[in-house]
Structure 1
Amino acid sequence: MAEKKPDIIIILNDDMGYSDIGCYGGEIETPNLDRLASGGLRYSQFYNTARCSPSRASLLTGLHPHQTGIGILTYDTGPEGYAGDLNRNCVTMAEVLKGAGYHTCLSGKWHVAQDLTEPTDSWPLQRGFDEFYGTIIGAGSFYHPNTLTRGNTNIDHEAAGNPDFFYTDAISDQAATFIREHHAGSPDTPLFQYVAYTAPHWPLHAHPEDIEKYRGRFDAGWDKLREERLQRMVRAGIIHPNWQLTDRDPTQPPFENADEKAWLLRCMEVYAAQIDRMDQGIGKILAALEETGRLDNTLVLFLSDNGACAEDIPEGVDLRSLVDDLMIARGTTRDGRPVRLGNDPSIMPGAEDTYQSYGVAWANLSNTPFRLYKHWIHEGGISTPLIAHWPKAIAARGELRHTPGQLPDLMATVVEVSGATYPQAHAGHEILPLEGTSLVPSFAADQPREAPLFWEHEGNAAVRTGKWKLVRKYPDPWELYDMESDRTEMHDLAAAHPDRVTTMLGLYEGWAARCGVIPRETVLESMKKLGGTAFWEKEDGA
């Protein structure tokens, strides 16, 4: 009898910093993720692509986002590769795994389709998923999200008519239900499940009891907490003791000098509560796997789609634009009260009638010890925790892996562990070659990374070869860092190694040309012609 193929569950969360969860040094209580880490592996140098939609496109397809049509977000920004719609020159994990006999389910956020209301060939069921429950849009109220969908059918009314609805809980409950239903009906068929949380993406919405749990937890302030996190990360072996803690973001005051401390602390408490509730839901998923006897032969991968988000939601934003044009907000609560949008310190976040974000200083804490945030390609923007748990095949328990990797590697990994075949053509379309390298060899021990790593988002860009990383914060000059001695990117060596800069820049430009990266100036011109930018889409990529 052939050995049974493993179930595969990929859990992706949204806008969470590198060091927020407990097993990566944070103050937030995540016992279920900590359990997966202690029973498996934590990767210290795994990377996303710095933004929601591009990361999802890259994870799902094993390609770089520009190759899939998701060069920035799910809005048409003009040039080829920037249509904002998952194209047909790529295949999703679900499409690949269906060919290997898997049943495929998605619970949560999709965010790789331009059309938010009518099913297209870039919606989940049209891209290999047998079952889908979640949202097509990228953000919104946790109490009453837009584009809530089952299969191809809008079910916004289910949230509207349920006073107990909360999106994080709904994602978790449906994921657990998919596991139980699949086991009851087809216990011998392998299962692929993609669980895509929106927590802790803004708006800051959380259950009161979860918020209360964190009252006082962050009172020491961002400066002291960053130092304490770093100490825990060094003790755990995640961060090398020689790497300096980056400076506090220069736009932010010392915590002791900050105004509106009560509101600031409440923002971080709600953010923590969002992650806590997600972890509670992951516990439900693990319980379903245990009840059905599937946990031992399930590869569970957990990661975040980008670094922490420093986006501000200023007072005075046009609510109608967010409600009618972008569909990322509701104008009223389910019981008819107006939603109060914007980071107004007189309004405490958490409830359904609020719509706020937690700001730069807390994002700086979330990304300890690194620089910058979501959007940028410095380590704070692209570093993600990655946990791998598979009792039947990963013998290590609680070990670290320092092997560098990035999102396209997950498709290569899934193909190897499932025995699937990555196709040259699918549904009448030629498919671009897989860009990733399987992580399976690193399950046993750290491996050297031979292939370069590449990134580009909004003109922010990087290439990493071995220990060297060449990186640019658009439109600033290129910087060069030694990742072995200075992963926190404190000492730019570009002037001391001009030949290395030239060589690595040549590698980057060759990759950019091959993968359809368009110069930022060209993209900005196209965006202006198509009607400008949203409040978080500043021309400098902020």
Structure 2
Amino acid sequence: MRIKQLLALLCISSQLAQASEIPPAPSGSAGKPSRPNIVVLLADDWGFSDVGAFGSEIATPNLDTLARQGMRFSNFHVTASCSPTRSMLLTGVDNHLNGVGNMRETIPQEHEGKPGYLSVLNDRVVTVASLLKDAGYRTYVAGKWHVGKERHNLPDQRGFERSIIQGDSGSDNWETGKRYLDLTDKVYWFEDGKEAAMPREFYSSEYYVDRMINYIQHDQQASNAAQPFFAYVAFQANHIPVQAPRAFIEKYKDKYKDGWTALRQSRRDRAIALGLLPKDTPMVTMSTTKNWDALTVEEQAYQARRMEVYAAMAEAMDYHVGRLITALKKSGQYDNTVFMFMSDNGAEASDPYAMLSARLWLGMHYDSDMDKLGDKGAYSIIGPSWSSAAASPLSTYKFYAGEGGIRVPLIIAGKDIQQNSIQQGFTHINDIAPTILELANVAKPAGSYHGKPVEIMRGSSLIPVLYYGQDRVHAPDENIGYELSGNQALFRGDYKLVKNLPPVGDGLWHLYDIRLDPGETRDLQSSLPEMFSSMQAAYAQYAKDNGVLPMPDGYEPSQQIFTNAMVHVYIPRYKYPAILLLLGLVTLTYLLARRRRPSGNKGKS
């Protein structure tokens, strides 16, 4: 790199640091490391501004330190739900091509088993773990897996040498055998490809980090200590039920007494001050956001407690991330480690208590008293109003294709990465796998793996951005499509074409400049009619090329979860005597849901 270019990069980095509340750290010399350790930290259901370094009031000092020592991506996109994002993270292949066109929990019956809609990884993809293992990396995973619990899809068959995983969409964070909803017959735990013998109690974030530290330390003491490692820690924080140790919860007492609208505004202002968003970024008030001042004092207190627990769960996760970092420093491995932190989708807004069947089940298995929220045996959510604040200043949340559902924090840190810098160009979850492989000096599969045909990775490596000052990795005219549960989008440079289904969306196409208007407040279809038309054509081509299926009329993801529970759990369990009763319950639940769309509990549940 020429001296003038290097000086320009250092000047830009210094300007970004001065605009940030995070103190600047000295810049390292540019240049990609050779085969570093790679640690991927995946949070569950964190909104765009849930990290301190992205504008949050939540204490995340360890993630903030990584941000200070690396790069924050303010325009990074995933899918709007858990398993499709995880499938793309591991393979670098669009979820419809890798088999996870929808989650098992939310897939409509009409799509089940269709090509691209297995709801688990298919046999036409290879994971980064397999490629890294072949190249001499040690490979570990601990946490939520959710891309298939069939024998051929367990981590030991997907490239991980050591693994302890929870196989489904989630579970209780205090009791290993306790389901978070009645969606499966039990909690499925696997260790190294076999059913795991789990402790009866744990705290999920602590346990996953404990196991990962043990894996790394064990191999460091063995003969293969010189090998680099790939460690994937997939946390359950902050998936429902929202639970956290009491000591963390009490730190947030009275922090949220002013409500979700005030929080949404303050987070927006901090994100702008940090340089993550354009000055005066506008934002909308979502139709699902309730009027805080219309709540009673008791309702406000209950809702504030829910957010206190949510913040505590995030801080607890960060604390245990810090324990992993400390262990790597003590072992001398930290300086040769690249860290990647991201969330799998935006914050969870669904309210299981709004569905009669779930409400009855939860009433039998969980407590919801205010003074017990977060504890063992208690169940908490945050609902759409707090979820909107967690995504501030973006629109929508988990399940939907608005920026609040699919734009999440991404931090990448390591030696010689441009420190305390912000990357504002569009980036995508499919970019992560190619980045990992280039860090490790491993080639992407060229259409085959061990003699079997596999899908080609479609993303772009972020190495030019991380180490060499490039301002974007996707060309301004590149089309990148997206679809999940009928919510659709197409990205082209700074522009986004998007359609969200009711009840959150209107089912129509809209066009936004998400660089200048990340809150999606100014529809540009009238002022840019040619672009609007050409992007619709490009989306149609994406859907055709990737085998996207149309959604059945009346589809709504929260309702589909409980319909699938009836089909896959209740009817097989209770057989024919209960079928009529269950069908009646489904009908009643559906009618009630149509009358009162999920919007979060205002008081005790």
- The answer to whether TM tops 0.5 is yes
One-letter code of the match for 2:193?
N
The CA distance in 1 between the partners of 2:382 and 2:231, in whole Å, is 30
Secondary structure at 1:8 match in 2: strand
Q: Write the deviation string for residues 57-106 of structure 1: whole angstroms up to 9, x where unpaired.
A: 01100011111111111357422111112111111110111121111000
> Quick one: distance in 2 between partners of 1:505 and 1:405?
21
In the TM superposition, what is the alpha-carbon distance from 1:364 to its structure 2 partner? Answer: 0.8
Question: Which of these residues, 423, 431, 451, is aligned with residue 409 of structure 1?
Answer: 431
Alignment of 1:9-88 (within 5 A): 9-74=39-104, 77-78=111-112, 79-88=114-123
| Structure 1 Cα separation of the partners of residues 562 and 205 of structure 2 | 33
Question: Residue 34 of structure 1 aligns to a residue in which SS?
Answer: helix
The match for 1:206 is 244
The answer to which structure has the higher helix fraction is 2
1:439 corresponds to which letter in structure 2?
L
| Pairing partner for 1:513 from 534, 540, 544 | 544
Q: Deviations over 1:462-517 (max 9, x none)?
A: 11111211000126110001223322110112133332122111111111111121
For 1:4 and 1:239, how far apart are their aligned partners in 2? 33
Name 1:173's counterpart in structure 2: 210
User: Hey, what does 2:277 align to over in structure 1?
Assistant: 239
Question: Which runs of structure 2 are paired with 1:80-479 in the superposition (5 Å)?
Answer: 80-113=115-148, 115=149, 119-145=150-176, 146-155=187-196, 158-160=198-200, 162=201, 165-185=202-222, 186-247=224-285, 249-259=286-296, 260-314=299-353, 317-318=356-357, 339-340=365-366, 348-391=372-415, 393-394=416-417, 396-423=418-445, 424-443=447-466, 444-448=468-472, 449-450=474-475, 451-474=478-501, 476-479=507-510
In 1, Cα distance between equivalents of 2:560 and 2:166: 29
Residue in 1 aligned with 2:9? Answer: none
Aligned residue type for 2:336: N
Instruction: Give the 3-state SS of the residue equivalent to 2:408 in structure 1.
Output: strand
Assess, with a 3 A threshold, how the Cα gap between structure 1 residues 54 and 175 changes in structure 2: closer, same or farther: same
**DSSP 3-state at the match of 2:409:** strand
Distance 2:501 2:313 in 1: 32
CA distance in 2, matches of 1:245, 1:216: 26
C-alpha distance in 2, partners of 1:94/1:294? Answer: 20
Q: 1:177 to 1:529 in 2, by over 3 A?
A: closer
| Counterpart-to-counterpart distance in 1, 2:356 and 2:248 | 29
- TM-score, length of structure 2 as denominator length: 0.80
Give the Å deviation of 1:352: 2.0
Cα separation, 2, equivalents of 1:94 and 1:80: 24
Q: Residues 523 and 53 (structure 1 numbering): CA distance in 2 closer, same or farther, change over 3 Å?
A: farther
- Provide the C-alpha distance between the structure 2 equivalents of 1:317 and 1:528, rounded to a whole number of angstroms: 11
Is the contact between residue 100 and residue 421 of structure 1 (CA under 8 Å) also seen in structure 2?
no
Which ranges in structure 2 are unaligned for 5 or more consecutive residues? 1-32, 177-186, 567-585, 599-605
* Contact kept? 1:364, 1:372, Cα under 8 Å: yes
The percentage of counterpart residues that share the same residue type is: 31
Partner secondary structure for residue 35 of structure 2: coil
CA distance in 2, matches of 1:96, 1:318: 44
**Shift in CA distance, 281/89, structure 1 to aligned 2, threshold 3 Å:** same
Q: Counterpart of 2:463 in structure 1: which amino acid?
A: V
Q: Per-residue displacement from partner, 1:247-269 (whole Å, max 9, x unpaired)? A: 2x223333222231121111101
For normalisation by structure 1, the TM-score amounts to 0.89
Q: What secondary structure, in the 3-state scheme, does the structure 1 residue paired with 2:535 have? A: helix
By how many angstroms is 1:159 displaced?
2.6
- Deviation of 1:293 (Å): 1.2
What are the Cα deviations for residues 308-349 of structure 1, in whole angstroms up to 9, with x where unaligned? 111112166446997xxxxxx8x9xxxxxx5226xx566742
How many residue pairs match? The answer is: 513
Indicate the RMSD between aligned Cα atoms, in angstroms.
2.7
